Amino acid sequence: MRLPFRVVQATCHDTDTIVDVVNSDRLYKTVIPSKFYKDPFLTSEELKNYFATMDLTFFLCREGASVLGVGALIGRKDGDGQLGWIFVVPERQREGVGSALVATIERQARARGMPRIILETDGGAYWAISFYQSLGYREYKRTDHLWGYQIWIQKALSPP
């Protein structure tokens, strides 16, 4: 079955679009206490700083001219990859957009020789944890946070 969307690498002109998609999803507001929740979740200035200081590649899931979701591969100093900012616009969640983004990021990580991908998410983000587990990711540690804990999950990548 051919999916009605495609995943492409973002360019420097996509910063505002990435920020808009990240900020369109309010699910984390339900698990992060209001005194710690930052709104907007991500600003253009923060994203530009991340691009300047991190090994960061963003991807967009597009359907025609519309962007349905975003996600990033972060190259870590230890050689692993890290998933970041996987967000899908609310009206297109549960349609395979997130899975398509993660699959593309995994292929990119394999091509770069990364042995595994890790990510962290809030311990209360049951929907995110369940999503990543369905894709083969497994928890490997928990770290304390101001309002609870972060879950770190990983997936080993086979060579290309």
Whichever domain contains 144, its CATH number is: 3.40.630.30
In this structure, is residue 1 part of a structural domain?
no
Query: How many domains does the chain divide into?
Result: 1
Beta-carbon contacts of residue 55 (< 8 Å; ≥ 6 apart)? 74, 75, 76
Domain that holds residue 136: 6-156
CA distance 89 to 10: 16
How would you write the pLDDT of the chain (160 residues) with one tens digit per residue?
445 889 999 998 999 999 999 999 777 777 777 887 778 889 999 999 999 999 999 999 999 989 999 999 999 999 999 999 999 999 999 999 999 999 999 999 999 999 999 999 999 899 999 999 999 999 999 999 888 899 999 999 987 6
Whole-prediction pTM value?
Answer: 0.90
In this structure, is residue 149 part of a structural domain?
yes
Strands 81-88 and 116-122: parallel
